[in-house]
Amino acid sequence: MLFALELAIVLACLFYGARKGGIALGLLGGLGLVILAFFFKLPPGKPPVDVMLTIVAVVAASATLQASGGLDVMLQAAEKLLRRNPRYVSILAPFTTCILTMLCGTGHVVYTMLPIIYDVAIKNDIRPERPMAAASIASQMGIMASPVSVAIVSLAAFLAKAPVNGEVISFVTLLSISIPATLLGVLAIGIFSWFRGKDLSQDPEFQARIADPENRARIYGNSTTLLGRKLATSQWAAMWIFLGSIVVVALLGAFDTLRPLSGGKPVSMILTIQMFMLTAGALMVVLTKTDPVAIGKSEVFRAGMIAVIAVFGIAWMADTVFECNLPQLKASLADTVKTHPWAYGLALLLVSKFVNSQAAAISALVPVALAIGVPPGYVVAFAAAAYGYYILPTYPSDLATIQFDRSGTTRIGKYVINHSFILPGLIGVFTSCVAGLIFSTLRGLV
């Protein structure tokens, strides 16, 4: 009963923090920690310092990329691809936003692409809901395939403490499973989106909207484009510095002999990522003369710092409760986890929905799962289940997609749950989890 009460406090902080949104999620974790430590006399757990410092380093590099204009180079290339192949926009758009997220480490890059995707679709008489809902979902799925995302870095840090058959699941091994699994999920979304909904010419609601000349003008509107904008040499340099740092990190992860020794062992990948992300940011500032003040004002920096505080409060609070109750949890859940490992994936999906963050969901649940006996191979296999906040259309990227779709085809249904993102989300995450399980089995992790 005492554990149930402690768990209720954790869930109450999660629910209320998620409802308030933004930085409140992490702050409520601190409030829960005070209640647990001072009133329930639980010894405070350990805050995930390594994870938080890695997040800070990655966010600093990504924010510098945005402030330097290097991100515009990637966005312009993505637009060229879409406008040259408008017929396939329902498949190309989600791949475009997913890959941008993989490169930048955050799904917030989707906001710039949404008006472009809408323009390509509506000008070619393609139902905008098809590529736009898919693009929003894919932008978030890309987080679990990005070597510089908060979520994947957090997961790698937790797995580093849970060896399989005496060997730690390396950063590269994790990505070798999560990347193809994610891309297969995005492909499934694209194929589904190609056929979803009525064609605009057969949609009576859409036809009724454009019957009014003023509405028609607003719906078809002027083109939004990055094409024709001349990009400075410094913007190209920033992009290549950032991408080069990602390549170097990947190589150092694949070949640990390239890393310097510390205590007779190669320097950990967590420290390696931190060093090279900070270095990438420094090179962009020095070589492209990026204004450091602009870095702190960027959307990427703001979102990243919110993620740091969310991980700080939630993970610390959760570790406090579960560490103190670990013996009971192992005794009661170990057999269930061994016979039904898929239950971990379902739990991760639900927690993600509550906290509206893949990194926060991983920080809250993965250490607990590993502690009670969930095999690390299943943690890798079901990594895609960390994205569950599409279930209700409350996430900023989904809400922004609805606003950018002036045709009204991307929408929230009468019963709320029947919105434009639910089916692409379910299809994408389920496909990625199945693919992840197959790849983990082939690698001998399961």
The secondary structure of the chain in percent helix, strand, coil, rounded to multiples of 5, reads 75, 0, 25
- Contacts (Cβ under 8 Å, ≥6 apart) of 238: 64, 65, 68, 69, 70, 73, 284, 287, 288, 290
Per-residue confidence (pLDDT) for residue 334, from 0 to 100: 60
pTM comes to 0.74
Q: Residue 340: which region, alpha, beta or left (left: phi > 0; alpha: psi -120 to 50)?
A: beta
Task: Give CA–CA dist 364/303, Å, rounded.
Answer: 19
How many CA atoms, within 13 angstroms, populate the side-chain half-sphere of residue 236?
Answer: 5
Per DSSP (E only), the strands in 263-399 are 265-266
Take residue 324 and report the two structure tokens written for it. Answer: 């103190």
Tens digits of pLDDT across the chain (446 residues) = 788 898 888 878 877 876 676 688 789 889 999 999 999 999 998 887 877 887 788 788 888 988 999 888 888 888 888 889 989 999 999 999 999 888 877 777 787 688 888 988 998 899 999 999 999 999 999 999 998 787 888 898 889 888 877 788 888 899 999 999 999 999 999 999 999 999 999 999 999 999 998 889 888 877 667 777 888 999 999 999 988 988 888 788 777 788 898 888 888 777 888 899 899 999 999 999 899 999 998 877 887 787 788 778 877 887 788 778 767 766 666 666 667 888 889 888 988 876 677 887 898 788 888 888 888 999 999 999 999 989 877 676 787 788 788 898 998 877 778 889 999 999 999 999 999 999 999 998 88
Task: Give CA–CA dist 230/243, Å, rounded.
Answer: 21
Per-residue confidence (pLDDT) for residue 441, from 0 to 100: 94
Task: Give CA–CA dist 354/411, Å, rounded.
Answer: 22
Task: Give CA–CA dist 218/222, Å, rounded.
Answer: 8
Largest CA distance in the chain: 74
Helix axes 299-324, 358-371, angle to 10 degrees: 20
> CB atoms < 10 A from the CB of 355, how many?
25
DSSP 164: B
- Contacts (Cβ under 8 Å, ≥6 apart) of 423: 192, 196
What is the separation, in whole angstroms, between the first and last Cα of the chain?
A: 35
Return the residue matching tokens 């710039």. 112
Task: Give CA–CA dist 357/445, Å, rounded.
Answer: 26
Per-residue confidence (pLDDT) for residue 145, from 0 to 100: 93
Per-residue confidence (pLDDT) for residue 329, from 0 to 100: 65
Per-residue confidence (pLDDT) for residue 335, from 0 to 100: 66
Per-residue confidence (pLDDT) for residue 188, from 0 to 100: 97
Task: Give CA–CA dist 322/306, Å, rounded.
Answer: 24
Take residue 220 and report the two structure tokens written for it. Answer: 């078809």
Per-residue confidence (pLDDT) for residue 21, from 0 to 100: 63
Q: Residue 125: which region, alpha, beta or left (left: phi > 0; alpha: psi -120 to 50)?
A: left
Q: Which of 4, 34, 29, 3 minimizes the C-alpha distance to 15? A: 29
